[in-house]
A = this chain, B = another copy of it.
């Protein structure tokens, strides 16, 4: 599928804004991810405020994209009413990939910035956005229109040695 082939981590964005309707389409894709026993642990906080984006950018050594992207999507996971809490981070990761692929489909670029599993980053983010204990920050997807339309481009990472047929 084209979107899987050409998706790259995009860290340089044009000034063009991203409509709320597109953000909704991205998050609709996230909500369509599989989750353990369909527990759908996700919520989303859409951040456009410059001060908030700069704050996020300072959470770690390679989080700078959060400040330069027009939109940061803070992915949150529910901490209550979960049948299989031990699988929430898998659910959230699959939702993140859906959002990043849908972004490619819409001509956008994105990069995933890690929050989980680092307690100090989780607290740093939860404090800023006054998150209740019923949700935890999972990660941030910084996104926008790429500054150059070839930033998403095909790279073939296929290595046949990674496939074992029938036995290891």
> Bound state CA distance, A93 and B34, in angstroms?
11
A1 near B102: Cβ-Cβ < 8 Å = yes
B-chain residues with CB within 8 Å of residue A36 when the two chains form the complex: 114
- Cβ contact of A166, chosen from B4, B5, B47, B86, cutoff 8 A: B47
> Bound state CA distance, A4 and B24, in angstroms?
14
B96 near A159: Cβ-Cβ < 8 Å = no
The distance from the CB of A128 to the nearest CB of chain B, in whole angstroms, is 10
B46 near A34: Cβ-Cβ < 8 Å = no
Question: Contacts A7-B34, A34-B112: A163 and B44 contacting too (C-beta < 8 A)?
Answer: yes
Looking at A11-19, A129-137, A143-151, the stretch in contact with chain B turns out to be: A129-137
The distance from the CB of A69 to the nearest CB of chain B, in whole angstroms, is 15
Q: Which residues of A contact B (CB under 8 A)?
A: 1, 3-5, 7, 9, 20, 23-24, 27-29, 31-34, 36, 40, 42-49, 76, 86-87, 89-90, 93-94, 96-98, 100-102, 105, 112, 114, 116-117, 129-132, 135, 139, 155-160, 162-168
The 7 closest A-B pairs by CB, nearest first: A93-B93, A94-B97, A97-B97, A1-B105, A90-B93, A28-B158, A45-B164
